[in-house]
Amino acid sequence: MSFPLRALTLSALTVLTPCLAGCYFLVPTQPYDPADPRFQNAQASDPNGPPPSSGPSEPEASSSGGGFQSPPKQDSPPPPPSKPIPISVQIRSECSKTVPVFYGEKPGFSSGTRSSVSGNSISSQGRKSDGTLTVWLLDAKDNGITSVRVSPDTNRVIVDRSCTGLRTE
């Protein structure tokens, strides 16, 4: 007769142990205390704020019967949507002849792309994933003459009429 009792005890423990272990994580480790500085920051950021005459109060029992109150919810507006990062920049040439350019950090010393911009033309060039790009004008020996740094806010790079200068808009 002792064997079925042991089997019943063992099966009951097998069923209850995971349930009790799971329930353990649902119990808060510390009760909500309005006097605790960690919770006062949440109250201070509440736009309505606590009433001026009210002091710390006792935690109220929750509807679940746990006896603990969660920190007050903050009603803050959602953050504004972030501006999308452009993937290309317009390259406009006011120069009458084709000029060599380099897209990258430093011509001859870094990875990048050597290209050319035709006279009096408009084209586009891809940016890095963060929306930036460095554009260099090159001389006949592929040395950098001047450069501009493109930011995510830059719309276009312009090769000026002298064919030796760059500017951004």
Q: What is the DSSP secondary-structure string of 89-111?
A: EEEEE-SSS-EEEEEESSTTTS-
Identify which of 114, 121, 159 has the alpha carbon closest to the alpha carbon of residue 140: 114
pLDDT tens by residue, 4-48: 555 545 555 555 555 555 555 555 556 666 676 665 654 445 555
Report yes or no on whether pTM surpasses 0.75. no
Label residue 122 by pLDDT band (50, 70, 90). Answer: very high
**Spans of all domains in the chain:** 1-71, 88-168
